[in-house]
């Protein structure tokens, strides 16, 4: 019988007990539960679900209270707990708060000189599987947690005395749950290793992303999402010396650990960071050699964009380490290297956690003194820098100011009110709506990483975006102040919180109300008013009128709510507007007359009726999931506007009559019935196409757009060295640049913008010719639109004088084509108004043009 059992176990092939993972010759405390007693399977036998993962972490924490404390740092969108375990020695646990405070002081040059690091523990954050469908990290966390709680002997005692381990078993709980459910439900008793099998091919959008289909490993800097916000708060509460980021790569690879490509390190990262990364690398190599695992280093991935988990620490006095394990994706998969089994991928991740901790223990003093020096040299670097302060603020959009301030404060950046009005960089900055960020402060390097533009690079290949200059992305007026313009007297109060008191001082009217469109959340307010059944109009030109006895100018885009001829009585209208004003911190104005001082009277048809948008977006295979998620997030989280997600199969068979607006984000729409879409537009539909969808809509005969082609980098007649292929072809990619588009502020698609230009984000090669209709290209590029980022000469040529936005008519409908991504990663607020204008005002644009043709 025993023999028979062995044979079965052999053929099942993947079930490994803990002995496969754990180092030899270590004794374990029998009081600590093994993973299988809590999660009901061996590690690597099934993919652990997030709820079982948390069950195990709880069990560990209650079985070893002197070694491990567990806290919940927040909840995800789907209300899963983000748990953090702190492993260290019983003695350190007793003094944990004191150790933390002393550690934090190391990053404060006013305190750090007097700190003795001789006996200070290092702080290491071990982080797993921010991409939910890269499961070996999270599954290895079960082994690591068991080891750290249960191992006995001198080695573990030394480690726990010298290191505080912050342990996050799952950076992306919602993604992990989605993926584990998928992969477990497709597991066969006799493992199927054929990569074509359903187990290895998740349905759209896949478990990589969070609830809103965002890549959380791009969100460390913008911190748009709750998962990142909760994590950043703890990051700065502890300021670790090392942070590890356990990922997976393609199944045919081996194992990668940093350092990455040396020429692609962000120039703000000190060279010493990469030296220490390489020193740690020696430990990873030695530990992987011991278990016979292949690996590579230096020739892939980079440390450029600070929004990634392995790069954000680099600009905070720490070392971020990226690990990339070849993915078995499912339980066992055929690869170029043979059958890759899930347990092996878990073992490599666990092993590099051990190597990281060993390196941290041995190099502890080097990491600590590097962190201290990093912040000491911030002061010298800032005195050498040309820019002494950054000034920002939009007097017409306090919502956007608040978003930007909140983001800066998550990174512990100090901000001050501007004391007196100041002209700088072509803008009028006003006390009350303008803010100063002095360059000379602890976070000097990160401030530069947030504010600076970049136009020169050592390398032209990038793993992620090449520029993200945040004030441009947010669409905020800003200026860099040199030593001639900056002095400390311009600093008012230190900004503690971005929240400003609600302005709600308007009186009840029997005539009409107004509010301006320039505020970030004005579209949310408009929708809520429309959804309450209240009729609304938009001013298509500016006008001046008396408000509370003083003359005030209102720009085109101002929303007017008349009181008469509504379904509701004036009391109910006032109550609704009061609540909307409070909710969105929006100033409403009471009118007692329709007679203006200049412009059109309030009863003019130039104040056009606008009806409620009923919006659907196409989602599903072919559609770029992150682009779709960005639009969903914009509508749902920011604007509180519902959007129907239409899969192509559903689209093709339902009645589209109930939607007046359909959005196609970047992606491939070949599954969509284009004749049906065309008929819907002709009948009056408002179609909005972004990025590659612009090309598809044009090729499908739905829009009237022609394109400019970017010439390739390699001339086909030329002979080139094969070794340069990747570099030459890669340089022709547009990996994310910031372009300045000129705006026609009189056009409904530009309502709410205060300046005749906006910054748009481009990561594609879609270049549109300007429309033949002179009124139909409301946003376009001039000779040199590049504001920041890397773009080849060929791409820059194609972008030159091209159109950014075109609106064309088809029957009684409209098609709005936007070549770039106005919603990028949800922090590109510069494009938000454009996107919301397409939703609310696209339907009212007159696209007719007859002259001259």
Interface with Zn ion by CB under 5 A: which residues?
131, 134, 247
Of 134 and 394, the one with the shorter C-beta distance to Zn ion is 134
Pairwise CA distance, residues 174 & 634, whole Å:
19
* Minimum distance, C-beta of residue 131 to Zn ion, in the bound complex (Å): 4
Dihedral sign, CA of 13, 15, 21, 27? Answer: negative
Of 130 and 288, the one with the shorter C-beta distance to Zn ion is 130
Dihedral sign, CA of 701, 703, 706, 712? Answer: negative
Of 397 and 464, the one with the shorter C-beta distance to Zn ion is 464
Of 209 and 753, the one with the shorter C-beta distance to Zn ion is 209
H or E element at residue 615: strand 615-618
What 3 state SS string does 270-335 have? CHHHHHHHHHHHHHHHHHHHHCCCCCECCCCCCECCCCCCCCHHHHCCCEEEEEEEECCCCCEEEE
Of 134 and 519, the one with the shorter C-beta distance to Zn ion is 134
Of 333 and 847, the one with the shorter C-beta distance to Zn ion is 333
* Minimum distance, C-beta of residue 246 to Zn ion, in the bound complex (Å): 9
Of 175 and 752, the one with the shorter C-beta distance to Zn ion is 175
- Taking alpha carbons only, the member of 246, 254, 273, 248 closest to residue 262 is 273
As a residue count, the chain comes to: 853
Of 247 and 341, the one with the shorter C-beta distance to Zn ion is 247
Of 145 and 216, the one with the shorter C-beta distance to Zn ion is 216
Of 296 and 755, the one with the shorter C-beta distance to Zn ion is 296
Kindly give the residue spans of alpha helices, DSSP state H, lying in 217-262.
226-238
* Minimum distance, C-beta of residue 262 to Zn ion, in the bound complex (Å): 21
* Minimum distance, C-beta of residue 137 to Zn ion, in the bound complex (Å): 9
- Taking alpha carbons only, the member of 508, 748, 774 closest to residue 608 is 748
Of 134 and 314, the one with the shorter C-beta distance to Zn ion is 134
508-546: burial string, b at 16+ Cβ within 10 Å, e else: ebeebbbbbbbbbbbbbbbbbbbebebbbbbbbebbebe
Query: What is the C-alpha radius of gyration for the chain, rounded to an integer number of angstroms?
Result: 29
Give me the helix-helix angle, 570-583 and 522-531, nearest 10°.
Answer: 150
The pair of three-digit structure tokens given for residue 322, joined into one six-digit string: 């990226």
* Minimum distance, C-beta of residue 203 to Zn ion, in the bound complex (Å): 19
| DSSP assignment string, 661-710 | EEEE-SB--TTS-HHHHHHHHHTT-EEEEETHHHHHHHHTTSS---EEPP
- Taking alpha carbons only, the member of 219, 248, 2, 298 closest to residue 136 is 248
Of 131 and 218, the one with the shorter C-beta distance to Zn ion is 131
Region at 153 (left for phi over 0; alpha for psi -120 to 50; beta for the rest): left
The 3-state DSSP class for residue 357 equals: helix
Burial class from Cβ neighbours inside 10 Å (0-12, 13-18, 19+) for residue 372 reads: buried
Give the list of residues 6+ apart from residue 664 with CB closer than 8 angstroms, or none.
617, 618, 623, 687, 688, 689, 690, 693, 696, 697
* Minimum distance, C-beta of residue 325 to Zn ion, in the bound complex (Å): 10
Of 314 and 519, the one with the shorter C-beta distance to Zn ion is 314
The 3-state DSSP class for residue 631 equals: helix
* Minimum distance, C-beta of residue 478 to Zn ion, in the bound complex (Å): 33
* Minimum distance, C-beta of residue 359 to Zn ion, in the bound complex (Å): 22
List the 512-515 sheet strands across, edge first: 589-591, 512-515, 559-562, 536-539, 607-610
Of 81 and 127, the one with the shorter C-beta distance to Zn ion is 127
Pairwise CA distance, residues 112 & 4, whole Å:
65
Q: Are 542 and 477 in contact (CB under 8 A)?
A: no
Of 172 and 703, the one with the shorter C-beta distance to Zn ion is 172
Burial class from Cβ neighbours inside 10 Å (0-12, 13-18, 19+) for residue 79 reads: exposed
* Minimum distance, C-beta of residue 356 to Zn ion, in the bound complex (Å): 17
* Minimum distance, C-beta of residue 134 to Zn ion, in the bound complex (Å): 5
The pair of three-digit structure tokens given for residue 557, joined into one six-digit string: 């885009």
* Minimum distance, C-beta of residue 326 to Zn ion, in the bound complex (Å): 12
* Minimum distance, C-beta of residue 248 to Zn ion, in the bound complex (Å): 6
Pairwise CA distance, residues 16 & 331, whole Å:
12
The pair of three-digit structure tokens given for residue 581, joined into one six-digit string: 């004003």
The pair of three-digit structure tokens given for residue 94, joined into one six-digit string: 């007793």
* Minimum distance, C-beta of residue 245 to Zn ion, in the bound complex (Å): 8
Dihedral sign, CA of 590, 595, 598, 601? Answer: positive
* Minimum distance, C-beta of residue 313 to Zn ion, in the bound complex (Å): 16
What distance separates the 2 farthest-apart alpha carbons in the chain? Answer: 98
* Minimum distance, C-beta of residue 349 to Zn ion, in the bound complex (Å): 12
Of 131 and 284, the one with the shorter C-beta distance to Zn ion is 131
The 3-state DSSP class for residue 146 equals: helix
Shortest-Cβ-distance residue relative to Zn ion? 247
* Minimum distance, C-beta of residue 251 to Zn ion, in the bound complex (Å): 13
- Taking alpha carbons only, the member of 652, 709, 677, 611 closest to residue 815 is 677
C-alpha distance from residue 673 to each of 580, 692, 704, 764 (Å): 40, 17, 18, 25
Strands (E), 99-239: 122-128, 151-152, 163-168
Of 324 and 630, the one with the shorter C-beta distance to Zn ion is 324
* Minimum distance, C-beta of residue 128 to Zn ion, in the bound complex (Å): 11
Of 462 and 781, the one with the shorter C-beta distance to Zn ion is 462
């Amino acid at each position: 019988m025993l023999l028979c059992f062995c044979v079965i176990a052999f053929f099942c092939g993947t079930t490994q007990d803990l002995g496969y993972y754990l180092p030899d010759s270590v004794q374990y405390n029998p009081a600590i539960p093994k993973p299988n007693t809590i999660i009901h399977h061996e590690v690597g036998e099934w993919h652990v679900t997030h709820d079982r993962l948390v069950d195990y972490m709880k069990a560990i924490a209650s079985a070893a209270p002197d070694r491990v404390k567990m806290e919940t740092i927040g909840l995800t969108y789907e209300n899963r707990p983000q748990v953090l375990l702190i492993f260290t020695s019983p003695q350190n646990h007793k003094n944990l708060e004191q150790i933390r405070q002393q550690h934090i002081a190391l990053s404060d040059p006013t305190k750090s000189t007097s700190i003795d690091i001789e006996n200070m523990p290092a702080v290491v954050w071990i982080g797993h599987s921010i991409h939910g469908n890269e499961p070996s990290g999270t599954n290895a966390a079960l082994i690591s947690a068991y080891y750290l709680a249960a191992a006995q002997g001198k080695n573990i005692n030394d480690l726990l005395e010298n290191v505080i381990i912050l342990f996050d078993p799952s950076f992306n709980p919602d993604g992990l749950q989605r993926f584990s459910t998928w992969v477990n439900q497709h597991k066969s008793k006799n493992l199927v290793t054929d990569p074509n099998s359903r187990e290895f091919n998740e349905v759209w959008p896949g478990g990589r992303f969070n609830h809103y289909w965002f890549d959380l490993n791009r969100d460390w800097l913008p911190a748009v999402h709750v998962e990142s916000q909760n994590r950043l708060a703890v990051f700065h509460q502890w300021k670790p010396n090392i942070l590890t980021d356990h990922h997976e790569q393609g199944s045919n690879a081996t194992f990668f650990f940093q350092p990455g490509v040396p020429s692609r390190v962000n120039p703000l990262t000190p060279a010493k960071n990469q030296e220490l990364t390489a020193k740690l690398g020696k430990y990873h190599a030695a530990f992987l050699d011991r278990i016979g695992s292949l690996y590579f280093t230096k020739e892939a991935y980079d440390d450029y964009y600070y929004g990634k988990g392995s790069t954000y620490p680099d600009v905070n006095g720490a070392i971020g380490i990226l690990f990339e394990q070849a993915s078995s994706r499912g339980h066992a998969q055929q690869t170029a290297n043979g059958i890759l089994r899930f347990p092996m991928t878990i073992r490599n991740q666990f092993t590099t956690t051990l190597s990281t901790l060993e390196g941290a223990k041995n190099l502890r003093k080097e990491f600590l003194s590097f962190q201290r020096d990093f912040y000491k040299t911030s002061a010298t670097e800032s005195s050498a820098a040309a820019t002494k302060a950054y000034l920002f603020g939009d007097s017409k959009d306090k919502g956007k100011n608040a978003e930007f301030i909140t983001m800066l404060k998550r990174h512990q950046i100090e901000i001050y009110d501007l004391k007196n009005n100041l002209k700088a960089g072509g803008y009028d900055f006003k006390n009350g709506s303008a803010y100063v960020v002095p360059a000379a402060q602890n976070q000097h390097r990160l401030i530069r990483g947030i504010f600076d533009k970049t136009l020169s690079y050592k390398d032209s290949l990038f793993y992620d975006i090449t520029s993200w200059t945040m004030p441009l992305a947010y669409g905020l007026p800003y200026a860099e102040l040199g030593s001639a313009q900056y002095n400390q007297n311009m600093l008012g109060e230190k900004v503690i919180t971005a929240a400003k008191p609600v302005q709600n001082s308007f009186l009840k009217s029997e005539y009409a109300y107004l509010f301006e469109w320039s505020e970030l959340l004005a579209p949310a307010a408009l929708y809520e008013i429309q959804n309450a059944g209240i009729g609304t109009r938009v001013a298509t030109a500016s006008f001046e009128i008396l408000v509370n006895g003083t003359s005030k100018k209102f720009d085109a885009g101002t929303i007017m709510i008349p009181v008469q001829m509504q379904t509701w009585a004036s009391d109910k209208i006032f109550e609704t507007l009061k609540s909307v004003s409070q909710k969105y911190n929006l100033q409403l104005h009471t009118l007692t007359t329709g007679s203006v001082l200049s412009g059109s009277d309030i009863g003019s048809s130039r104040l056009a009726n606008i009806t409620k948008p009923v919006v659907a977006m196409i989602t599903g295979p072919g559609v770029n999931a992150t682009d779709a998620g960005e639009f969903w997030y914009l509508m749902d989280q920011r604007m509180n506007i519902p959007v129907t997600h239409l899969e192509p199969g559903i689209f093709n068979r339902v009645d589209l009559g109930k939607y007046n607006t359909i959005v196609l984000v970047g992606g491939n729409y070949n599954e969509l019935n284009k004749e049906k879409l065309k008929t819907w537009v002709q009948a009056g539909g408002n179609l909005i196409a972004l990025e590659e969808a612009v090309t598809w809509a044009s090729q499908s005969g739905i829009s009237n757009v022609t394109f400019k082609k970017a010439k390739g980098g390699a001339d086909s007649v030329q002979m080139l060295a094969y070794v340069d292929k990747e570099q030459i072809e890669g340089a022709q990619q547009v990996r994310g640049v910031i372009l300045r588009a000129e705006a026609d502020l009189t056009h409904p698609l530009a309502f709410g913008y205060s300046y005749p230009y906006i910054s748009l984000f481009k990561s594609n090669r879609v270049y549109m010719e300007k429309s033949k209709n002179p009124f139909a290209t409301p946003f376009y590029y001039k000779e040199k639109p590049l504001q920041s980022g890397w773009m080849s000469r060929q791409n820059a040529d194609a972008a030159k004088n091209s159109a950014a936005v075109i609106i064309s008519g088809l029957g009684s409908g409209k098609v709005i084509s936007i070549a770039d991504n106005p919603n990028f990663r949800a922090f590109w607020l510069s494009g938000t108004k454009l996107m919301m204008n397409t939703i609310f005002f696209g339907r009212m644009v007159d696209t007719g043009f007859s002259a001259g043709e």
